[in-house]
């Protein structure tokens, strides 16, 4: 599952730098999570890092993105491959 940020977000900026997948970004009103990039931190950490640091507990599971741990691991591998492809493009 991906996580999502609710409208209780106070725009404190704390979660954004903690995300290992660069899935968190500033939206028009509050911070948002790109579900295509959020692996619930699978592949990087045991616990979702954004949930750990959010002072108002406004980062629940996104009910529209129910994924198994295997699917999250596949997403993690895809993201890692995309990142390494981007790095090699820069070196070319
Ligand atoms: S759970 Fe992990 S990957 Fe997903 S948004 Fe939070 S910090 Fe990023
Ligand atoms: S840590 Fe919580 S309150 Fe702060 S920007 Fe992130 S989602 Fe919003």
Q: Whose CA is nearest to atom 1 of ligand 2?
A: 54
What phi and psi values does residue 61 have, to the nearest 5 degrees?
-70, 140
Identify the residue whose C-alpha is closest to ligand 1 atom 5.
Answer: 38
CA of 78 to the centre of ligand 1 (A): 15
Q: What is the mean pLDDT of residues 10-36?
A: 98
Burial 61-79 (b: 16+ CB within 10 A, else e): ebeebebeeeebeebbeeb
Class of domain 16-91: alpha beta
- What are the boundaries of each domain within the chain? 16-91
pTM of the predicted structure, to 2 decimals? 0.93
**What pLDDT digit, counting tens, does each position of 37-71 carry?**
999 999 999 999 999 999 999 999 999 998 999 99
**Distance from the alpha carbon of residue 65 to the mean position of ligand 2, in angstroms:** 20
- Where is pLDDT greater, at 1 or 19? 19
C-alpha 18 to ligand 1 mean position (Å): 8
Residue 74: per-residue pLDDT? 97
């Amino acid at each position: 599952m991906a996580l999502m940020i609710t409208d209780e977000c106070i725009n404190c900026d704390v979660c954004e730098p903690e995300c290992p997948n660069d899935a968190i970004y500033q939206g028009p009103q509050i911070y948002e999570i790109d579900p295509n990039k959020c692996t619930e931190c699978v592949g990087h950490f045991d616990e979702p890092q954004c949930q750990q640091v959010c002072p108002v507990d406004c980062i629940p599971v996104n009910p529209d993105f129910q994924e198994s741990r295997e699917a999250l691991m596949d997403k993690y591998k895809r993201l890692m491959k995309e990142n390494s492809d981007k790095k090699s493009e820069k070196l070319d």
